[in-house]
Amino acid sequence: MSGPGFTPEQMMTVAAARALTSDDVCFVGIGAPSSACNVARLTHAPGITLIYESGTIGAAPKVLPLSIGDGELCETAVTTVSVPEMFRYWLQGGRITVGFLSAAQLDRYGNINTTVIGDYHHPKTRLPGGGGAPEIATSCGEVFITMKQSLRGMVEKIDFFTSFGHGDGGDARAKLGISTKGPTLLVTDLAVWKPDPETKEFMVTSLHPGVTGDAVQATCGWKVKFADRLEETAPPSGLELATLRDLKARSDHD
């Protein structure tokens, strides 16, 4: 399931990158979010400000960072601040427009688990944990999520609430006094999803080239809802693909 000349993962990264603008101040997660944010920076959104959890502001990495402690981030940043300042002044101060996260487990309302698979006290798998993601999920203006689809990852009920999305739907965030928008976009390797305005359940708004609705349902653990006007995601442009491949190639080389 890939179009000519690009993979599902490349389509996912490019589609996620397109959601960002030069006006955004973006809190970037490592992995797929970092790839998408840097493709945006190097193509249509040169003015974007990328912030990583280690305190680097305005990072412009030439290679994709291996972690938030990668020296590439500090060396290319406009400035680096302490982690307490990053969270208190920048994040909790409402200065970040978009938080870009990934997930080990995700439910239909954009709630994220990156803590544990199985029972908390007797886990099947112990995951890396939340880090700054719980604060990102509540304090950024809105949250974008990117992840590969699988029955293990997209589940009816997550095993642990690491990062709060839309809770059990509707106005769950407002009831808790959370004023930010929460998850407004989910980009997978198969489709683009957006929350229903009322229920806040993610629904498919665009299928990537060559992908069927059945393929989306087969890799999702809940009953998928599709938008009335279902679109097809525009394939990656030559520039988008070349930029992503160049980033990856430099990262692999270094």
What residues are labeled active site? 53
Rounded Cα distance between 68 and 77, Å, is: 12
Do β-strands 202-207 and 226-232 pair in parallel, antiparallel, or remain unpaired? parallel
Cβ proximity of 40 and 18 under 8 Å: yes
Task: Single out the residue of 40, 42, 72, 110 nearest to residue 52, CA to CA.
Answer: 72
